Amino acid sequence: MNKRLDTGAFIKDLPYYKERVDLAAAFRWTARLDMHEAVANHYSLAINSEGTQFLINANQIHFSKVKASNLLLLDANDKKTLSRPGAPDPSAWGLHGSIHRLCPHAKCAMHVHSTYATVLASLADSHLPPIEQNSAMFFNRYIIDENYGGLAFEKEGERCASLFSDPKKKVMIMGNHGVLIIGDTVADTFNRLYYFERAAKNYILALQTGQKLKVLSEEIAEKTAVQIDNYPEQGEKHFASIKQLLDDDGEDYAS
């Protein structure tokens, strides 16, 4: 059969097909969890060793409709990107292009306005105290951006990217905005995003009781964070299960 008539074979010949499938699956599961916002928000994944070439969702496509085949392949150093046909959303380019140009350790970047992380980002004090195991996972491992400057067009994106100077800190609580997570792979980054939203939810709900919080000691919080950092294959197993669930439901994310 002519490969160009065999849709499945043709799609699998796309550059970086496996990476595309993983990223598309992350979009679909984020939609399932209602952690996205309309046709806004963006995920990206670097596909070269320098981190400057990356996959990202196309402009104004709902997370539940993202497929391996409709992801864009961009070059963070291409200054003409926004003037080309099929250009990405300007805020996606401003934020993710800057991250992949300026932060080589950020192989994957996920930005959402998920409810509880955004509530946390809206508080005058956006710190996440280690009140339970999920929040302890992020002890000394996040940045708070206190200087929101509007939509993440290129200058704002560069400012945000510059805050990721410490490779240990892979979460940015974007004050008055949302959350930005970086990681080594799609699985690693999505796992971190999932648990940060859970931790933020637990904290916000605990605040709503009006009772005094039971905060872990710095020693125990750091011990817990290190243990979770070193927990074998947690992100990979979590994400493999997600893809299996999508497959079981007949989702077309890999197409």
Q: Is 150 helix (H, G, I), strand (E, B) or coil?
A: coil
Superfamily of segment(s) 7-248: Class II aldolase/adducin N-terminal domain (3.40.225.10)
Q: What is the pLDDT of residue 10?
A: 66
pTM for the full predicted model: 0.94
Q: Say if residue 51's pLDDT is above 50.
A: yes
Q: Is 40 helix (H, G, I), strand (E, B) or coil?
A: strand
**pLDDT tens readout for residues 93-136:** 999 999 999 999 999 999 999 999 999 999 999 999 999 999 99
The full set of domain ranges for the chain reads 7-248
Enter the tokens of residue 1.
């059969």
Identify the H or E element spanning 183. strand 178-183
Q: What is the pLDDT of residue 13?
A: 86
User: DSSP string spanning 52-121?
Assistant: -EEEEPPTT--GGG--GGG-EEEETT-TTGGGSTTPPPHHHIIIIIHHHHH-TT-SEEEEE--HHHHHHH
Q: Say if residue 40's pLDDT is above 80.
A: yes
57: region left, alpha or beta (phi > 0 left; psi from -120 to 50 alpha): beta
Q: Say if residue 7's pLDDT is above 80.
A: no
pLDDT band, very low/low/confident/very high, at 11 (cuts 50, 70, 90): confident
Q: Say if residue 3's pLDDT is above 70.
A: no
Supply the angle between the helices 186-208 and 17-32 in degrees, to the nearest 10.
20
pLDDT band, very low/low/confident/very high, at 142 (cuts 50, 70, 90): very high
